[in-house]
């Protein structure tokens, strides 16, 4: 399969990045669905412990590859153990909660999973070194993850048949993978950079093998937007505060080509919040600088918190998602 799926036509939409505070799956799902009318999402609750974190959930999605926690972090194992079972159990609990609050829902719905490069940079091989060091292991992870994601998307569709699914791949480590700044397991040196063409090919293999539009979230500086576009992603989620004017051309080209920009502008930990229009002031400034049509603003840009909300209080997380939705609508109401 080599189809690239189109992103849903949304106007003035907001969404969350993925993680939420606390350990109550029902409360998290209620918030993610209630605050985000156009693009609710499946929350993640890393406070529950190993297996509920981004890497643990990703490891749990792998097919015929198993990982467990060691003092140094996640490591591949010969067979599924307690950590894998825990990851499956928590994902099932989260899906149960989302299904409960999306009865009769018709529309776009986002699910998240860690991407292949961040997974390879985080999990150790049995010998103790990061999987990223072994090109064959990296490709094996990508293939296993792709099959796991196919099954995951099918399960979400079974539970929420009216959903038009969007998949977000979390790749916070991708810039470090490309720059050769991922530390070895010992921490004393760094792994060699992955060739950009290889990184692109592996991502394209995942993106084009799934029956849903894929966006990539990367809350790090120097997000490789052209590489992601060539890999076939439909959208890129960024922390807008990390962009510089050097990124203008790549952002402008992406928008004009139809790529959605998920603009992380609402702080992801408890602090004072701007009014909705003030939150997206930087988005409007960027738009004017790029000389893009104001009418495109609400269609090409979605508003999000700067990153996941796991470090926020539950009350702040609710407020941040509601503000994101109001800020997104303000881009439509007052595009200038």
One digit per residue, the tens of pLDDT, for the chain of length 336 reads 344 688 999 999 999 999 999 999 999 999 999 999 999 999 999 999 999 999 999 999 999 999 999 988 999 999 988 999 999 999 999 999 999 999 999 999 999 999 999 999 999 999 889 999 999 999 999 999 999 999 999 999 999 999 999 999 999 999 999 999 999 888 889 999 999 999 999 999 999 999 999 999 999 989 999 999 999 999 999 999 999 888 899 999 999 999 999 999 999 998 888 788 889 999 999 999 999 988 899 999 999 999 999 999 999 999 999 999 999 999 998 877
Cα separation, 14 vs 33, in Å, equals 11
Distance of CA 109 to the CA centre of its chain: 13
Positive/negative CA dihedral, 85, 172, 157, 146: negative
Per-residue confidence (pLDDT) for residue 2, from 0 to 100: 42
Distance of CA 152 to the CA centre of its chain: 15
Q: Which long-range contacts (CB under 8 A, 24 or more apart) does 317-320 make?
A: 317/20, 317/21, 317/31, 318/31, 318/35, 319/273, 320/266, 320/267, 320/268, 320/273
Per-residue confidence (pLDDT) for residue 1, from 0 to 100: 38
Per-residue confidence (pLDDT) for residue 11, from 0 to 100: 95
For 238, half-sphere exposure in the C-beta direction (CA atoms, 13 angstrom radius) is: 24
Task: Identify whether the C-beta of residue 82 lies closer than 8 Å to the C-beta of residue 70.
Answer: no
Which residue from 117, 125, 123, 132 is spatially nearest to 189, judged by alpha carbons?
A: 132
Per-residue confidence (pLDDT) for residue 4, from 0 to 100: 63
Inter-helix orientation angle 196-207/135-159, to 10°: 20
Per-residue confidence (pLDDT) for residue 274, from 0 to 100: 79
Per-residue confidence (pLDDT) for residue 21, from 0 to 100: 97
**pTM here?**
0.95
Task: Identify whether the C-beta of residue 243 lies closer than 8 Å to the C-beta of residue 283.
Answer: no
Ramachandran region, residue 263 (left: φ > 0; alpha: ψ -120 to 50; beta: rest): beta
Which residue from 316, 330, 327 is spatially nearest to 279, judged by alpha carbons?
A: 327
Say how many C-beta atoms besides its own lie within 10 A of residue 125's C-beta: 16
């Amino acid at each position: 399969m080599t189809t690239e799926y189109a992103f849903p036509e949304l106007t003035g939409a907001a969404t969350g990045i993925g993680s939420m505070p606390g350990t109550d799956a029902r409360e998290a799902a209620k918030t993610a669905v209630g605050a985000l009318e156009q693009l609710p999402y499946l929350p993640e609750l890393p406070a529950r412990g190993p297996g509920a974190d981004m890497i643990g959930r990703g490891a749990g999605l792998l097919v015929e590859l198993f990982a467990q926690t060691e003092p140094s972090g996640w490591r591949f194992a010969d067979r599924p153990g307690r950590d894998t079972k825990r990851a499956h159990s928590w994902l099932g609990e989260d899906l149960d909660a989302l299904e409960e609050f999306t009865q009769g829902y018709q529309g776009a719905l986002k699910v998240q999973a860690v991407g292949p490069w961040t997974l390879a940079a985080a999990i150790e091989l049995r010998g103790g070194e990061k999987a990223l060091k072994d090109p064959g292991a990296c490709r094996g992870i990508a293939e296993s993850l792709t099959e796991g994601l196919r099954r995951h998307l099918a399960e979400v569709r079974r539970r929420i048949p009216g959903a038009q699914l969007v998949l977000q791949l979390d790749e916070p480590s991708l810039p470090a993978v490309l720059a050769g700044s991922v530390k070895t397991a010992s921490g004393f040196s760094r792994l060699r950079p992955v060739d950009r063409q290889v990184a692109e090919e592996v991502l394209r293999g995942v993106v084009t093998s799934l029956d849903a539009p894929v966006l990539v979230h990367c809350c790090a500086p120097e997000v490789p937007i052209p590489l992601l576009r060539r890999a076939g992603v439909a959208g890129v989620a960024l922390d807008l505060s990390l962009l510089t004017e050097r990124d203008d051309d790549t952002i402008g080209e992406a928008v004009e080509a139809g790529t959605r920009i998920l603009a992380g502008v609402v702080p992801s930990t408890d602090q004072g919040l701007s009014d909705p229009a003030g939150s997206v002031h930087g988005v409007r400034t960027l738009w004017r600088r790029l000389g893009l049509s104001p009418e495109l603003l609400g269609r090409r840009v979605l508003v999000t918190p700067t990153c996941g909300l796991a470090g926020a209080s539950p009350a702040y997380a609710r407020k941040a998602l509601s503000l994101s939705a109001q800020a997104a609508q303000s881009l439509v109401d007052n595009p200038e």
